[in-house]
Structure 1
């Protein structure tokens, strides 16, 4: 609808509102505002008020429901409208009576701010239709906050007259696409240091975890660590569960607070849980856990009080999924008893702790698969490493909404419960995660929008066995080594007999954990590598899970998982890539650009969609959007930058990325059809190697920044102590080239970094301590100082100051082609010898036998700087953030290079020298003279590209394919111009 038409429609609605208000002010209720005006306004603004996935309206309570709530002093009052994108709340709108002056009402402001903050939406709205208030709900709210703080109020007339300004906060498409800006209304939050609900609540329950843990250990010193963790977990779970029930109007309000004020809280709390709550609910949440020790009331004071009163927590709208995801981080740590003290430590199994899949992303993955199915009556859904249950909770939301749409009425309690008992299953190795999963699903059930009974009689017990403790990777059937019993092997056929007897599950949704080998017990790791036939390299845990998933699916089963992309381009990942392709298990790969969607960590992930039935084609999709909000995550499978269909077998060998697959097909054709011979640096007979610089034990001490004077003395600093000046004899220092301000053909302008190199020039024999002590006293004292300060485990083979690995040291005086490992383009230049590259930033291409002449290396470096080589190499490269490419050995070494005769090599070397000379002159010149040299370089650039393109003879169509796949080609000349601050129009 065009803006003028929309203004006209809203004006008509406004006039109708004022007529009714004038004629029937006394009977003009909040319900009239909603049904007569706000609903119609929402429809005009693109919201389908009849679609439960777009608009959820808080149902008005019956008289008997209202009476029951009044009896327990409940002020149960959710916002009137939950405006949603596919069921995920994006903002709230609360309706008021026409007489309401909400702009000065602190209670209304605090309530709507709390609801918005608790759900993680950026703003919320209050309106009686003639007036509107928009509140910034990002910062944590507080009860005494001014109603005008980060809020704006305006009339219906102002809305209509300045519709372009306000429309992004009301129109559906603009809200869900995040096209609004709170700054445009003057209510943005300049400081982004505020805590969101998830961080706030995580800190809150983590604090209570420590307080409870310390008190329990102090009062019960013989308690074991695992029981301490379990007891603390159960207590916190139950308290939070009860608060949800209270705010949901199911349990009496303020029950825990009154119990706290009465005294002897722990005894009363145990009686409540073990008796009434256990009888009315079930063992999922309230089964006696075996702990009958002492806990002092003071361990609960702050925790209980902060859950009541003027708290910003609104448990009637906090999604149990949010609690589940908070717990995912919570479960990444555990209480440890060390030297008589309780401390909170990261779990050893995963250096990053557990990282939960964001709910909108999980929901999208679930919806994409399940929406293609019509009959859900017998569907069985599994997450084999469920964690706190994001995927299963998402599946619950989807299935309950589908069932409601199918029946065209609210579900009964039993129908809602059947969604869990009949369809959802989970396994996890962490018993506390299983408890959290059961809690999350229990909350989802009891707080769902069903026709509620007044009493729950063992309402939750039926699904306890759906979610079990176990290690999905280890099958109890084939465990012969009894030591593996400590890793919780599981027999799926015993735990889920009916499902497994029919072949397995219909769907698996999961996020297989990425666990590096160093965090695995060696016994378990050896077993898994052998069991899943993944014996090559340092395989991470996610690959074992991927194989296991397909064993757990039935013949028609499907999966959708999100996993690290690292195995897409590593040597150790080749076997799983081949296995997936040979079985035809993959239907679709959705590669996501670098993102921080997982708890702030920069990740490189992909969604794999597969089926047990063999797929002859794979759709490969790239989505490089930055997913900073729910809307982006909900559209992750729709917002496509690039996509291609490939025959499945074409992915069997080589790297998995859209650009790499396209490049591989061009390269394959090149080798088959070209008359010229090509080689790769990684070929065994190439007579070239890609190496890195020395690997020292303590780079922060061995790498020095500074200068060497004419007397052979070094003056500078190390990385560890930048404020402490160091002076050393320069005899044992060698120049190191880093990845900083490098340019093709000329390299670094000057070298300021040196490595302390205690070796003879052959790079094999260590310089004797006596020699250093007697001839280089400053160096000797510096090395002794390093030994005292260093906490790195010393090298046991040789002198304590020797390096970690010595195999590359002999190449010091070899001429080398240097290429940065991470760059926007290939930056290639030749060094004659006497220097190393920084081992973490720079590749060195050289001849191990030192048989390649400088001329030949310059010829290869020139080819590598050409456009066509860049298109091939950068498409084969790995991904890095910010438009950069990873050019490690496995990528760079696979790019074909034409074999040259003597004349060709000499010609290319001449071009190298000429471009190098012109580049240096341009760097040293200014004004028109600099522009003159750059114009000469532009002509050399064009001639070089034509010459090398003729050698490759790749058809223009394929070159265009490569360019389209890459997205943007950034040449060596572009980089030089950027360094010289020259634009094309100024040459």
Structure 2
């Protein structure tokens, strides 16, 4: 599973400055690690015996590190975790801090996957670790940031080319330049750019080809021609891929195009270009022996004669231009099968839309929404996790069942009893045969993302058997060629869309195609049909009888594994005819369920008695009435091993609302069966090093009760129970105040908003200029002081704001008129002007019924902690929310430690741990009926007053600095009371230096006399600020105690809250 994009990696390898240095390092490496006698001694060594030697021989002598206890060491053995007593076997250090962790095992550990979690456990314990290295002395793996992909090196048989990559990534100087991370980032950027560009060209070709075929072949219906267009595209893609991977003669497409052009232009021997391609398709189907080259009969069904496709006409110029354009891509280095997988999956959105439009059907835009700015696909970390925990779980069970212990294979044949060797050989044979009998199905296979992941997993598992076989028998490691066997025996898929089925087949062929080997016919394994309905009267020719279609599977009781991403089709888009069929067939039917619900029971029905199911689906059923029937079904009939709730994070670009992962086994577990639950509350999930390491074990019987709660993200059981209790015993905030209102969206901030000290002179004295607050200015209990002004073309007309006639305000009209064209083109406004519902100068969005001129509670939309305060006679922007309440007691409750912990647990977090304070979380805050407390009100009034005093002192010194030195915007100086004088003075001089530079003036340091005066003034003001801060802290603690009392918290519960902060 490569970490890097091939073309990017080639550039970096070519750029290695000292090729000689690599050769010298390789000579050192081979002298030690390729010595056969030494290899045998390493294999016989225990883990502890060779750990230090391994680090010294590879990392010190070859890669250039200095090991502890040498002076200035950057490599150490044994790095203790920050949070517990566990230790990594080694670490790479930069400035004394770990940037890489190393986990080592003996050669008896053949499968390095087994130590992956352990290694990432060390990584997660040390901030700043990027590189994760695991090794069994014979193999070495390198991960960067996460466990999705890695580079693996066979040290005992490492070629110079592979060593050059090892050196590029792990040599001391390179790792301190962070070169591996840079190559990975460049690879991701390159892959994204190629994917977008290729998809654009591919999509354009399909659309123009389809339109041209429809125009030139009117005798056929459009839907049939659309399907044939897609089949033709599949053929071309295989050719482009195969000629660059040397499965076909290189530059085959260029040869065809050039020959056609020469015959047409120079020899006056014209024939349609498409006829030349049809001839080539025939070669690929039957094979061809020619004078210049031979073409193997890859067959597989893709190039089988198609009477209709062979009879259509296509414009020469269109075919020439687009086949040349697409064949220009390098399908070997630039376009790997992963990029094609992304393109295939995104293609399905367009295919569904176009098909539905041709047939005049309604389509669910939430599912088939076309992604114009990016490519949607199932992320690999999801497909990998589901496959690892379904197929992988069964593999681990089987190894235990047959007694396969990889440590027994470490010793070679010499001196071992024949019976022992036969027993071990039988274990390997039994396990391989069991692998070949596994049946894995995706009942909504789409472009084949899950089937490709299962294919990758099974190939690796067969290679694992090969390694054990090699250890047992000795000799050179030979990896078995099992891809065709896996396609024929292990993988099954069904999809309602025929084009999806063909794309899934193509994606699997591209993964496994080899020169001179026929493509596996997948017609018996991947089929088109309606997975959920077997009645032809309902589903027509898409009706799918699973037992008849896959008799060999159901003769064994059903599939071993069902995996996939069931279609997210909302209930209102399901036809009444289909609903009636579901009602008669599925016990989870309610009449209000979305389509994915039926796939749960369907998976159960097609699994064998001990089968595993892993789905990525919406979690909406955990919080809806219609979901109760499904929950009851899952609780009574399945054993749920994993549930991952992504809450409302947009993991898949809007493709699934409230996504979740569930893995269950058909074997019913005990009442005390534990489920691994992870609630992902942080939207930097894509960068989480080991996303699934922070899971909580819960009893399955309590799982869905927990998921139905807003506090399901609490990882501490005591905290969960506390938050659940207050949620159940107190009313939500929504019953006390109206919905929070988001702030103003002008649609053109530069036209309406100005710094308070830089309002255009033409607007001096304007009654339409008002204070304007932004989210980062809102701080807990502090006065809402706006640093900006807004030109607001609204006035209070009674209770609500009303749009003014701007022409009445002459100077304001002239000012806005200068930007009239730009303002008229704003989204929403432009369409409104055409309809007569909007005027050119109004805002894109403003809540005209919000009481801006009264006292209200305001808070930022995103914040590291809770920051509620009061505002009055002030407008605010989109980064703020306003609660229409003037209650001091409510403000005290919202700013309390208890509610801080509640919001920390319920809110989704943005990058850096920032809380996303969406309305649904705020309105769900439980509030006691008795919150209007006189004592609490008085304390909040006091803390507001003290915060106001503190702000005055802070602002006074800041204003002095600004007026005396013209220094603006220094964050450190704005918080001067948190600094020591030496820090303050250093920051002041730094800011003065910058001002002088900006003005082009000479910088002159302040004298000692001035410094002494400033020191005295600074310390006096800081002492005043600290005295006020001490009062604030005391009052704050008193408010927290009052809030604890309002909620009836015990001493033990208070301790849980305090610990959770």
TM-score, normalising length: structure 2 = 0.60
1:903 to 928, 934, 943: 934
Over 3 Å counting, the alpha-carbon distance change for 1:506 and 1:207 in structure 2 is: same
1:691 equivalent in structure 2: 740
Secondary structure of the 1:284 match is coil
Over 3 Å counting, the alpha-carbon distance change for 1:134 and 1:496 in structure 2 is: closer
Does 1:825 find its partner at 2:886?
Answer: no
1:241 equivalent in structure 2: 238
In 2, are the aligned partners of 1:404 and 1:411 still within 8 Å (CA)?
Answer: yes
Deviations 1:361-416 (A, max 9, x none): 52343123222222445433222332221211121222234345557487887x64
What pairs with 1:397-408 in structure 2 (closer than 5 Å)?
397-403=456-462, 405-406=464-465, 408=469
Deviations 1:7-30 (A, max 9, x none): 99985953899999xxxxxxxxxx
2:923 equivalent in structure 1: 893
Instruction: Name the CA distance, whole Å, in 2 between partners of 1:665 and 1:191.
Output: 42
In 2, are the aligned partners of 1:868 and 1:949 still within 8 Å (CA)?
Answer: no
In 2, are the aligned partners of 1:715 and 1:728 still within 8 Å (CA)?
Answer: no
Q: CA deviation at 1:88?
A: 5.8
Instruction: Name the CA distance, whole Å, in 2 between partners of 1:521 and 1:699.
Output: 40
In 1, are the aligned partners of 2:678 and 2:695 still within 8 Å (CA)?
Answer: yes
2:302 to 265, 285, 289: 285
In 2, are the aligned partners of 1:877 and 1:885 still within 8 Å (CA)?
Answer: yes
1:874 equivalent in structure 2: 904
Unpaired stretches in structure 1, ≥5 consecutive residues: 1-6, 21-36, 56-80, 97-124, 137-150, 153-158, 169-178, 338-345, 718-724, 847-853, 970-987
Instruction: Name the CA distance, whole Å, in 1 between partners of 2:636 and 2:243.
Output: 54
Instruction: Name the CA distance, whole Å, in 1 between partners of 2:656 and 2:1024.
Output: 43
Secondary structure of the 2:1036 match is helix
Over 3 Å counting, the alpha-carbon distance change for 1:82 and 1:807 in structure 2 is: closer
Q: CA deviation at 1:744?
A: 1.6
In 2, are the aligned partners of 1:219 and 1:294 still within 8 Å (CA)?
Answer: yes
Secondary structure of the 2:451 match is helix
Instruction: Name the CA distance, whole Å, in 2 between partners of 1:609 and 1:209.
Output: 35
What pairs with 1:426-437 in structure 2 (closer than 5 Å)?
426-437=493-504
Q: CA deviation at 1:206?
A: 4.0
2:279 equivalent in structure 1: 271
What pairs with 1:77-96 in structure 2 (closer than 5 Å)?
90=151
Secondary structure of the 2:797 match is coil
2:72 equivalent in structure 1: none
1:127 to 154, 157, 160: 160
Unpaired stretches in structure 2, ≥5 consecutive residues: 1-23, 38-53, 64-103, 114-138, 261-270, 288-296, 356-363, 399-433, 471-477, 958-1017
2:856 to 808, 816, 837: 816
In 2, are the aligned partners of 1:53 and 1:84 still within 8 Å (CA)?
Answer: no
Over 3 Å counting, the alpha-carbon distance change for 1:524 and 1:357 in structure 2 is: farther
Instruction: Name the CA distance, whole Å, in 2 between partners of 1:523 and 1:560.
Output: 29
Does 1:424 find its partner at 2:485?
Answer: no
1:326 equivalent in structure 2: 343
Does 1:440 find its partner at 2:507?
Answer: yes
Instruction: Name the CA distance, whole Å, in 1 between partners of 2:457 and 2:657.
Output: 27
Q: CA deviation at 1:875?
A: 1.5
Over 3 Å counting, the alpha-carbon distance change for 1:387 and 1:742 in structure 2 is: same
Deviations 1:679-729 (A, max 9, x none): 4313x4xx43333158x9x8527997447999xxx9779xxxxxxx98997
Q: CA deviation at 1:508?
A: 2.5
Secondary structure of the 1:262 match is helix
2:721 equivalent in structure 1: 665
Does 1:391 find its partner at 2:422?
Answer: no
2:1033 equivalent in structure 1: 941
Does 1:654 find its partner at 2:662?
Answer: no
What pairs with 1:224-239 in structure 2 (closer than 5 Å)?
226=223, 229-239=226-236
Instruction: Name the CA distance, whole Å, in 2 between partners of 1:582 and 1:245.
Output: 50
In 2, are the aligned partners of 1:692 and 1:844 still within 8 Å (CA)?
Answer: yes
2:883 to 841, 844, 851: 844
TM-score, normalising length: structure 1 = 0.63
1:700 equivalent in structure 2: 747
Instruction: Name the CA distance, whole Å, in 1 between partners of 2:798 and 2:530.
Output: 53
What pairs with 1:210-229 in structure 2 (closer than 5 Å)?
210-211=204-205, 213-214=207-208, 217-218=211-212, 221-222=215-216, 226=223, 229=226
Instruction: Name the CA distance, whole Å, in 2 between partners of 1:572 and 1:822.
Output: 33
In 2, are the aligned partners of 1:859 and 1:905 still within 8 Å (CA)?
Answer: yes
Instruction: Name the CA distance, whole Å, in 1 between partners of 2:646 and 2:339.
Output: 23
Secondary structure of the 1:748 match is coil
Over 3 Å counting, the alpha-carbon distance change for 1:931 and 1:826 in structure 2 is: farther
Instruction: Name the CA distance, whole Å, in 2 between partners of 1:525 and 1:935.
Output: 72
In 2, are the aligned partners of 1:707 and 1:715 still within 8 Å (CA)?
Answer: yes
Instruction: Name the CA distance, whole Å, in 1 between partners of 2:282 and 2:905.
Output: 62
2:314 equivalent in structure 1: 295
Q: CA deviation at 1:604?
A: 8.5
Deviations 1:615-645 (A, max 9, x none): 543222367796778xx77x554xx245343
2:949 equivalent in structure 1: 918
Over 3 Å counting, the alpha-carbon distance change for 1:704 and 1:863 in structure 2 is: farther
Instruction: Name the CA distance, whole Å, in 2 between partners of 1:561 and 1:356.
Output: 15
Secondary structure of the 1:427 match is strand
Over 3 Å counting, the alpha-carbon distance change for 1:839 and 1:571 in structure 2 is: farther
What pairs with 1:42-441 in structure 2 (closer than 5 Å)?
90=151, 127=160, 133-134=164-165, 164-165=172-173, 181-182=178-179, 196-197=190-191, 199-200=193-194, 203-204=197-198, 206-207=200-201, 209-211=203-205, 213-214=207-208, 217-218=211-212, 221-222=215-216, 226=223, 229-242=226-239, 244-245=241-242, 251-252=248-249, 255-263=252-260, 265-274=273-282, 277=285, 280-282=297-299, 284-289=301-306, 290-291=308-309, 292-295=311-314, 298-299=317-318, 312-314=330-332, 320-333=337-350, 349-351=367-369, 353=371, 355-359=376-380, 361-373=382-394, 374=398, 375-376=434-435, 378-403=437-462, 405-406=464-465, 408=469, 416-441=483-508
Instruction: Name the CA distance, whole Å, in 2 between partners of 1:620 and 1:844.
Output: 34
Secondary structure of the 1:271 match is helix
Q: CA deviation at 1:864?
A: 1.9
Deviations 1:765-809 (A, max 9, x none): x86x9x948966788997998778755655999975799999982
Instruction: Name the CA distance, whole Å, in 2 between partners of 1:524 and 1:349.
Output: 21
Deviations 1:113-139 (A, max 9, x none): xxxxxxxxxxxx97289xx74599xxx
Secondary structure of the 2:776 match is coil
Deviations 1:530-577 (A, max 9, x none): 9976888xx987667667655655554322234567887899989977
Q: CA deviation at 1:861?
A: 0.7
Deviations 1:484-517 (A, max 9, x none): 879x775656645665798754322223466789
Secondary structure of the 1:817 match is strand
In 1, are the aligned partners of 2:763 and 2:812 still within 8 Å (CA)?
Answer: no
Over 3 Å counting, the alpha-carbon distance change for 1:660 and 1:246 in structure 2 is: same
- Structure with the largest fraction of helix: 2
In 2, are the aligned partners of 1:691 and 1:844 still within 8 Å (CA)?
Answer: yes
Over 3 Å counting, the alpha-carbon distance change for 1:788 and 1:493 in structure 2 is: same
In 2, are the aligned partners of 1:581 and 1:649 still within 8 Å (CA)?
Answer: no
Instruction: Name the CA distance, whole Å, in 1 between partners of 2:28 and 2:824.
Output: 80
Secondary structure of the 2:642 match is strand
Secondary structure of the 2:492 match is strand
In 1, are the aligned partners of 2:859 and 2:881 still within 8 Å (CA)?
Answer: yes
1:858 equivalent in structure 2: 888
1:25 equivalent in structure 2: none
2:562 equivalent in structure 1: 508
Deviations 1:741-764 (A, max 9, x none): 11122352126346544773223x
Instruction: Name the CA distance, whole Å, in 2 between partners of 1:550 and 1:948.
Output: 50
1:745 equivalent in structure 2: 781
